[in-house]
Each structure stands twice: as structure tokens, then as C-alpha cells.
């Protein structure tokens, strides 16, 4: 496949998976209204999806470093959709937790392999990786609209209809895998030859992504309820706010890739953290409908570094690209859900605004962690390194050589 075609298919497939990450938060207002969940119980649903996903990410990342597992792409897509599709059936709280946890496991299985394949298909271009990330953010943005259209009009018993994006995504994955079989060099590769790991920098980067995750998942979980408190109105007002939060992420991802082509990735990440501090404060303090504007700015600030952090992590751990992708694209993103029950308990004891106020500090902590982070050198490839087909063996990375061949024609 051509690079643009590969990235487009992977991006749409990414959207079909991440719609289920966004669907968990989008279901919260309906669970609160129709099952009477409190803040702590509602945040427990988010924790169930995040916790299993967080625990499983390193396992799947290590697996993709050891061998090619392309079948994970369609299988994990389907699993993510089935979990959410079953979450509205039956009123038992434990059953709901189990279903969203199953969906989280599917999300965990998808991201390490997809990040490796996308980086290879992107041929090292930041803008191409940004478009891949855009797919995931678009899935997030569509989730509130999809849930509102299905659950808002027909009730929680209609959640089985939410499996449709997973079926579409599974079909797309099969198309990608068939093309990869015809041209085996596309999805292969793990690490550039001769690369050395910078574990200390990777750990600091991962901690910065965790801080960002706490903000994003905290707002995703409680923003719809908070907006309804501040502005009044029905669940629609909260759904609109959540849509703005996710849509701004799509804009931020593309903007981040463009900015990284002009400045280095670490500098762009630092500045986005400072923007996020002011924007989150605006969400909590600015009165009236201007809250929606602050929400959009918060989303852009949080998502400008999103794809950049994935490639930074892969460059800091060139011998473990799958692990790096699994942590930066999956684990460090979903682990923020662990903080949601704490936010919920504080909100039950005080107020929702009081519980959300500490989120202002999280982007500042990210900035401190990134402040002295080095910009890694681009990955290098040994001369004459072969491009190998997808097998169960460890493979040599080849995206720099793809770039080299293209520029010397």
C-alpha cells in the first residue's frame, strides 16, 4: 500500500476502537440518571475500564516486541465493541463493571500493535503519526453523539447497537492485514539497528503522560455532570461539552504534528502543558457558556503532544517499540482512570468543583517533568539491513530506510 492509504485505513480503524474509550464516559450521565449511581459509583465504572486496560498494556506491548501479532488488531477491535454493547443489559452494578472491563481489555490489546504498525507505515513522519492519532481522537469525539443517539433515545437496553463501529473496524483491519500479506514489509519491524535505550527519559515522559491522563479522564468522567450543574439544562448540555472536549483533541493532534515539523517535539510538549494549565483553570472558573471555549482550549492543549509523546517514547526505547507504544498510547493514557474514584469521593463529600480543582496542577507537573527532557536523535538503520516479512521472529525496523529510498529518487 501507499503510505497515505495505509495511514488512512489505520486511522479509521483507530477511530472504531477509541470510540469505546469515549463511550464509557458518555454512558456515565445515563447511568446516573437511570440507575441512580452516585459520583463514586459512576467513577468506578470508568475505573473498571481503565484498570484492566492499564494492567494489560505492558503485557501486550512486550508481546508485540517479541513477535508479530497482527491478528490482535481485528480481535481486539471486536472485543472492545462487544464489552460496551453488553454494558447496558441487566441492572447489576458488577455486570456493568465486568462489561466495561472487557472493553478495556480490547482497547489494551489494540494499541501496542497498532502503534508499531502505524509508525512503520508513517516512515518516521510526525505528521503521518498525527493523522493516525487523529483517528483515535475522532472516535472519542463521535462517542458522545453515538451514545446519545442510541441510549438517549431508546434507553440502556439498546447498547447492543453500539457494536456496529467494532464490526466496521474489524472489517477494516482484515483489509489491512490482507494488504500486509500481499506486501509483507509494511507491518513488520520493531527497532532500528544499533539503537540504545534511554530509560530514564522514557520514565519521565511516561509520568508526564500520566499527569495528562488524570486531567483528561477526570474531565471526561465528570464534565457532563459539571456542565449541567453550572449551566442547568438536560443531559444534552453535558453531552455537548463532552463532544467539544473530544473534538478539540482531534484538532490538537493534527496541530501537534504540524508544530513538530517546525520545532522539536519536546518544546511543543512543554508549551502545550502551560496552555493546559490556564485552560483547565478556565473550565472551573469562567462563568456562563464561555466554559465551552475553555473546554475546547483544554482539549487542544492536552492533545497537541499526544502523537508526539508516542514517537518520543519509541525513540527513547528503540529496542522495545511495542512496549513504548503500549505505555505512551495506552497505559499512561488509561491509568488516569485510577484517580477517578478519588475525585468522585471528594465530590460526594464536598462539591464537584472542589473535586476537580486539583486537576489544574497536573499539566504543571507534566511541564516540570518535560522541562529538561532531551530531544532524542532520529532512529538510525544499519546499512544493508533487510526488510523482512511478518513472522514470529524479531524483525529489524525499516522506516528510516523507506524515507531514504523515497528522498533519493
Q: At a CB cut-off of 8 Å and minimum separation 6, what does 407 contact?
A: none
Distance CA 301, CA 154 (A): 35
Domain 3-374 - what CATH class? mainly alpha
Buried b (16+ CB within 10 A) or exposed e, 381-401: beeebeebebeeeebbbbbbb
Instruction: Give which of 302, 276, 273, 14 is closest to 135, Cα–Cα.
Output: 14
Checking if the pLDDT of 399 tops 50, the result is no
pLDDT of residue 195: 60
Q: Which span out of 18-22, 335-339, 373-377, 399-403 was modeled with the highest average pLDDT?
A: 18-22
Checking if the pLDDT of 78 tops 90, the result is yes
Grid coordinates standing for 23? 463511550
Label residue 401 by pLDDT band (50, 70, 90): very low
Q: If you average pLDDT over residues 144-152, what whole number do you get? A: 86
Label residue 79 by pLDDT band (50, 70, 90): very high
pLDDT of residue 84: 92
- Global pTM? 0.66
Grid coordinates standing for 212? 495528562
Checking if the pLDDT of 185 tops 70, the result is no
User: How is the chain split into domains, by residue range?
Assistant: 3-374
Q: At a CB cut-off of 8 Å and minimum separation 6, what does 42 contact?
A: 28, 31, 32, 221, 344
Q: What angle do CA 360, 29, 287 make, to 5 degrees?
A: 45
Distance CA 368, CA 37 (A): 37
Q: Which residue has the higher pLDDT, 185 or 329?
A: 329
Checking if the pLDDT of 167 tops 90, the result is yes
Distance CA 190, CA 188 (A): 7
pLDDT digits (tens, 9 = 90+) for 242-295: 888 888 877 887 788 788 878 888 889 999 999 999 999 998 888 878 888 999
Q: If you average pLDDT over residues 382-398, what whole number do you get? A: 37
Amino acid at each position: 500500500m501507499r503510505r497515505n492509504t495505509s495511514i488512512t485505513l489505520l486511522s479509521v480503524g483507530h477511530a472504531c476502537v477509541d470510540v469505546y474509550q469515549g463511550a464509557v464516559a458518555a454512558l456515565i450521565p445515563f447511568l446516573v440518571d437511570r440507575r441512580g449511581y452516585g459520583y463514586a459509583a459512576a467513577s468506578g465504572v470508568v475505573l473498571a475500564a481503565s484498570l484492566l486496560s492499564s494492567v494489560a498494556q505492558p503485557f501486550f506491548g512486550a508481546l508485540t516486541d517479541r513477535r508479530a501479532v497482527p491478528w490482535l488488531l481485528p480481535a481486539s477491535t471486536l472485543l472492545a465493541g462487544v464489552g460496551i454493547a453488553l454494558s447496558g443489559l441487566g441492572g447489576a452494578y458488577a455486570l456493568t463493571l465486568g462489561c466495561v472491563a472487557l472493553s478495556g481489555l480490547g482497547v489494551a490489546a489494540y494499541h501496542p500493535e497498532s502503534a508499531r504498525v502505524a509508525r512503520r507505515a508513517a516512515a518516521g513522519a510526525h505528521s503521518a503519526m498525527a493523522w493516525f492519532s487523529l483517528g483515535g481522537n475522532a472516535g472519542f469525539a463521535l462517542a458522545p453523539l453515538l451514545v446519545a443517539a442510541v441510549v438517549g433515545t431508546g434507553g440502556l437496553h439498546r447498547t447492543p447497537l453500539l457494536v456496529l463501529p467494532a464490526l466496521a473496524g474489524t472489517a477494516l483491519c482484515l483489509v489491512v492485514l490482507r494488504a500486509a500479506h500481499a506486501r509483507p514489509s509494511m507491518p513488520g519491524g520493531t527497532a532500528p539497528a544499533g539503537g540504545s535505550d534511554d530509560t530514564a527519559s522514557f520514565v519521565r515522559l511516561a509520568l508526564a503522560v500520566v499527569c495528562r491522563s488524570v486531567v483528561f479522564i477526570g474531565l471526561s468522567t465528570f464534565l457532563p455532570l459539571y456542565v449541567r450543574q453550572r449551566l442547568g439544562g438536560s443531559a444534552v448540555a453535558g453531552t455537548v461539552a463532552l463532544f467539544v472536549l473530544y473534538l478539540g483533541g482531534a484538532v490538537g493532534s493534527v496541530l501537534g504534528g504540524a508544530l513538530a515539523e517546525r520545532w522539536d517535539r519536546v518544546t511543543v510538549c512543554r508549551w502545550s502543558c502551560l496552555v493546559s494549565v490556564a485552560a483547565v483553570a478556565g473550565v472551573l472558573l469562567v462563568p456562563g457558556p464561555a466554559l465551552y471555549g475553555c473546554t475546547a482550549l483544554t482539549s487542544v492543549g492536552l492533545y497537541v503532544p499526544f502523537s508526539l509523546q508516542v514517537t518520543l517514547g519509541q525513540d527513547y526505547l528503540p529496542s522495545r517499540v511495542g512496549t513504548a507504544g503500549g505505555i505512551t498510547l495506552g497505559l499512561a493514557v488509561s491509568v488516569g482512570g485510577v484517580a477517578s474514584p478519588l475525585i468522585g469521593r471528594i465530590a460526594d463529600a464536598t462539591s464537584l468543583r472542589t473535586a476537580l480543582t486539583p486537576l489544574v496542577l497536573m499539566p504543571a507537573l507534566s511541564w516540570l517533568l518535560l522541562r529538561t527532557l532531551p530531544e532524542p536523535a532520529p532512529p538510525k538503520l544499519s546499512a544493508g539491513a533487510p526488510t523482512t516479512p511478518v513472522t514470529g521472529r524479531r524483525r529489524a525496523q525499516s522506516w528510516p530506510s523507506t524515507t531514504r529510498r523515497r528522498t533519493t529518487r
